[in-house]
Amino acid sequence: MIILDLFKRGKIGNVKLKNRIIMAPMGTKPTADGSYSDNAINYFEERAKGGVGLIITGANIVSTKYETRPENELSDFHNVEKLAVMIERCHHYGTKVFVQITPGLGRMVYADPYTPPYSASDEARSFWFPNLKCRMLTVDDIHYLTERMAYSASLAQAAGADGVELHGYGGYLLDQFHSSLWNKRKDEYGGSLENRLRFSTEIISAIHEKCGADFPVSMKFTAYHGIKGGRQLDEGVEMAKIFEKAGVSDLHVDVGCYEVWYKAITTVYEKPMHQIFAAKAVKAAVNIPVITQGKLNDPMDAEKVLQDGDADYVALAHQMLADPHWANKVKAGNFDQITPCIGCNECLLGGFSGKHYYCIVNPLCYAEKDYQLTPAMSKKRVLVIGGGPGGMEAALTAARRGFEVELWEKTTQLGGNMFVAGYPSFKVDVMKFVKFLRREINRLNVNVRYNMTATSENVLAGNFDKVILATGATSKVPPIEGVDNANQAEDYLVQSKQPGDDVVVIGGGLVGCETALDLSSRAKNVTVVEMLDDILQTGSHSKNNDLSLRDHLKDAQVKLDTGVKVKAITKDSVVIDDNGVEKKLPCDTAVVAAGYKSNDSLEEILEDKVDLTVVGDAVSPRKIMDAVHEAYHAIRVME
């Protein structure tokens, strides 16, 4: 397939776009008054420089009367200045900007367990605190928010925005009005579909009246929820027709809500193009442009959507965090130089932890100006020990700065434990990152020495100016009677060993659960045993990844036996203590996934003899992000 349609010019309303590639809306952290920060401005400017035709900002709340600010605020004239700076800088690169505006999050507000959030009706409950019944917005409240939405749109217009997008998806406030699942009103804003959409259609009319009929209004809405009682696709198509009649310029089609968050915000476990079915159905029913999304990171997938006529524009979100220059690289045909998003959602986890939106594979995300590399002032020699993610990132960063670098890897391949993590079919996104790093190592001619075991003698003999210890971690062997009758999870993940029919996985952390899911396709019965009261409790990860993995385990019929302690492993069973009762779980395959311990034996020997920095799992077993970011910065700050 030849890339043609992605770079065709387009038009939304009266706004001309240089291509069909859109940066989808994602939140940014504001200043104290809700305006765009300098970091956010730099962040958007970099994506414009990277070649996208249109940027849609994250949600800007139009009033804090009913809830605290979720992200940015666009409620007053003082918010215009920074927004205008951002838009102007994006325009310098020929990129247009739509500002997304929202009346609020409704039941999705994460505030506290004591303050009921506002929603379409008082039968809705807080998502984060289910014991809280929501407060119903009155008709006067709805009219107030409608006016504020129109005013916010006029502020965006004053800032130079090319249009606005209504935040009407994902189970947020407008979508709560749209859906009979949460909207139980008896007045003109509840009941029939037309009534449930009235809040949104009145907002559209108010914006047209305030900003003029030619000012584009995009509608991002959820065409299919994917939960019991939620919206089915046929209703989503009818919504699209109503919005078109109301005068929107385009329809940005979304799928899912927080109960099945992974359907809305892709994880590593989802398949590419998983939202296209909804956009395709909407596209067949309307005569205005349709925007689609949902794991279109592969340029060939994105192109296929357009060539098949399933949508008019493709939107990429987290892939734009991973590589802001995706569009330019695709246009140049440099597909193999695209830094791939691995679906980890550490970006979301960072945001929901009160931080900014970090990216595992891109240390410059949200620090585009602060973390730039400078050319080496002198030809220092750098040794990197270990070819996992931290080691490869350190070597690449050293090469990019112009240092002379050697990478020592004790095996015959690069990747470390990331190669193990990315081996299962449902973790292909992680393997893409492994392959990307390997290609970059070759492209930059990094001197890699395989089958090279580092010792204090050969390290010191090299007289290196800097040594990066990125030796990773190895699997723990727990002190369980008969543990020799089991094998480590990694043996099965890379398929050096094959399971029998009945498998027991010891350990319900991330590795144990992913191992169980992988083995479920090759065994008849798989059980996870975990001493804690629930699985996936030993590490921090984004809620949508957690939800997706749990649902995959359920669909694969993996049994979960939690709150039990393993006493012994025999050749044909795992013996557990279940609240003081001894039980035998028959199995022909016992798998241990009991965590990792650092390979740090060289640290104490070398730390006072060389300029040494330890990174990643060699410090303590953690995440890919820790390895990549620590390695990048260790080299970045070298003088």
172 is an active site residue: yes
Identify the CA nearest to 211 among candidates 277, 295, 151, 140: 151
Amino acid at 105: L
Report d(CA 173, CA 180) in Å as an integer.
13
Output 207-214 pairs: Cβ under 8 A, ≥24 positions apart.
207/149, 207/150, 207/153, 207/164, 208/247, 209/150, 210/150, 210/151, 210/153, 210/154, 211/150, 211/153, 211/154, 211/157, 213/247, 214/13, 214/14
CB atoms within 10 A of CB 620: 13
Please state whether beta strands 589-592 and 596-598 pair in parallel, antiparallel, or not at all (unpaired): unpaired
- Residue 382 CA to chain centroid, in angstroms? 33
HSE-CB at 329 with a 13 A cutoff on CA atoms is: 19
Report d(CA 422, CA 437) in Å as an integer.
13
Identify the CA nearest to 263 among candidates 228, 429, 254: 254
- Residue 11 CA to chain centroid, in angstroms? 29
Q: Which residue of the set 118, 172, 313, 632 is catalytic?
A: 172
Report d(CA 527, CA 509) in Å as an integer.
13
Buried b (16+ CB within 10 A) or exposed e, 467-491: bbbbbbbebeeeebebbebbbbbbb
Q: What angle do CA 528, 531, 537 make, to 5 degrees?
A: 80
Asked whether the beta carbons of 16 and 253 are under 8 A apart, the reply is no
Report d(CA 543, CA 480) in Å as an integer.
32
Q: Catalytic residues, which ones?
A: 172
